[in-house]
Amino acid sequence: MSVQPKLGLDPEAVRRARELARTAGGPIVQLAKRHTTVSVERATLRLAGLAGADPDGTPWVNRLVDAVRGDVDIAHGVALPVWDALLRAEAADLTELATKAGVGSVRFRIPEGDDAKQAEAAATEAIGAGIARIDARRAERERLIETVGDAPRTPWIYLIVATGDIYEDIPQAQAAAREGADVIAVIRSTGQSLLDFVPEGATREGFAGTYATQENFRLMRAALDETSKELGRYIRLTNYASGLCMPEIAALAGLERLDMMLNDSMYGILFRDINPVRTFVDQRFSRQVHARAGIIINTGEDNYLTTADAIEAAHTVTVSQLLNEYFAKEAGLEDWQLGLGHAFEINPDVPDSFRMELAHALLARELFPDAPLKWMPPTRHMTGDVFRGYLLDGFFNLVGALTGQGILLVGMMTEAVVTPWLSDRDLALQNVRYVMNAVGDLHEDFQPAPDGFVARRAADVLGESIDLLERIIAHDDGMLDAIADGTFGLMRRPADGGRGLDGVVRKADDYRNPAVDLLEDGLR
């Protein structure tokens, strides 16, 4: 649904805001290009088909990258040392090589001259096969949407399942789809973002969520393919490319045809205390994979409003959306792939709270007219009063209907009380359907007064966003300093602190990674 501009935003201010985001983000892209990480290297091996884990559950990609790192560092990339070892017949395939590397019976070296050329050619072929598989999965999705049918309308209705057990998640996800969900998100186990490896296999135990693994992805996608055919509409599957293994999870999502991924440029830094450089390097690679795979990313701006006041911090959402847009486009994502996040989190006791929500949502809509936008329900002001919560969710749905949101995460009246019951989900979907049906195309009739409350509020937030971006750029070292001194939210995250820093390596001049080359080529 496209919405006619209503706010009369100053085009010069909009242009200025985008330009500032580019100025702030540019040096971060350069920083990302100068470094690699253990997870980028492991993702490269995953693209080449290395899967599985040793008997202790340590994935073979971790074993192999650690062994290469021990012998020759990863500053040159793991591709050449690994395929050089294969060409030297140290092992028949990657798994055998990883097994031997794990017990120290292989020595790696940086090949030179013709050896280097041959290793690079072999690596490019193997990794290229993985990229070709991602391309094929994307084509398969497009074909399925063509033959099975697509979601009948926007916003797409987004529902969450999270039992911890993939075999429980599957029937719940299928039931949710039958009840009307267009998108199923499987919440990850608490703490997975801080694991520096991707667990292996089908998993049946998680903490408040289910582990993201390649096998879990495959099982759920296959189940939803069946349900899609049954319902005559393609059900999209969502997971999380975040945390220390973001690049690997992005690669697995592409290989297993996931459709949307939570993927934010700064969430891990601010909310998980992951090292900023690690995050930005991993981010860029994962976004390139998502771009290639035709995956829609969902950014995490709602998180800003769960930790800060939704009125005072409204502009931090806009700034983050602008930065996420810049980083996404630089990595090759197109507008239709940008599920930029925002949320309905203003304290309902504040006078005019609904007008402000409407202003903020319209601002996002008009700043990013071609992005789907991910509209997140109230959580912070949901209490045990389920009746009041149901009304609040109705108003949330009304803003969604009126402002052309692309993806609507269904709010539950039992938020903060229980994980949703069957009846909670049913009532929540009734709420969404009633509002969408009752409102219809009201947006055609809805025209906020020029210079009225809504238009002025939107202009103010845009103005504050420009001020904040200017303050970020005024730092000596731009965004990195701004992140370090707590300019974003309440968290101070210095560039030399946080988790995963030991997995960041500055690239040597002769760094080679065919995955990076193939993904960059895709951008040209």
DSSP H or E stretch at residue 174: helix 166-179
Our answer to whether residue 234 is catalytic in this structure is: no
Q: How far is the CB of 422 from another protein (least distance, A)?
A: 6
The residue (of 420 and 448) whose beta carbon lies closer to another protein is 420
Q: Per the residue annotation, which of 267, 304, 390, 511 is the catalytic one?
A: 267
Q: Is 164 left (phi over 0), alpha (psi -120 to 50) or beta?
A: left
Give the angle subtended at the CA of 347 by the CAs of 342 and 350, to the nearest 5°.
Answer: 125
Q: Decide whether 13 or 491 has the Cβ nearer to another protein.
A: 491
Q: Is 6 a catalytic residue?
A: no
**Which helix (H) or strand (E) element contains residue 430?**
helix 422-439
With residues binned 3-state (H G I as helix, E B as strand, rest as coil), the percentages for the chain, rounded to 5, are 55, 10, 35
Measured CA distances, 70 to 63, 78, 89, 108, 330 (Å): 11, 11, 20, 9, 33
Question: What's the CA gap between 37 and 284, in Å, rounded?
Answer: 11
Give the residue with the Cβ less far from another protein, 270 or 340: 270
Give the nearest distance from C-beta 286 to another protein in angstroms: 19
In whole angstroms, the minimum distance from the beta carbon of 295 to another protein comes to: 24
Q: Whose Cβ is closer to another protein: residue 370's or residue 426's? A: 426
Shortest distance, CB of residue 183 to another protein, whole angstroms? 19
d(CA 126, CA 19): 39
Residues 6+ apart with CB under 8 A from 233: 148, 149, 150, 151, 152, 182
Binding site for another protein (CB under 8 A): 175, 178-179, 190-191, 194, 207, 270-273, 303, 306-307, 379, 415-416, 421-423, 426-427, 490-491, 499
* Terminal alpha carbon distance of the chain: 30
Residue nearer to another protein on the CB measure, 254 or 500 = 500
Query: Of 158, 240, 326, 374, which is the active-site residue?
Result: 374
Task: Give the shortest CB-273-to-another protein separation in angstroms.
Answer: 7
Q: Which is the catalytic residue, given 84, 169, 259, 302?
A: 302
Q: Is 393 among the catalytic positions?
A: no
Pairwise CA distance, residues 516 & 518, whole Å: 6
Catalytic residue numbers, as ranges: 267, 302, 374
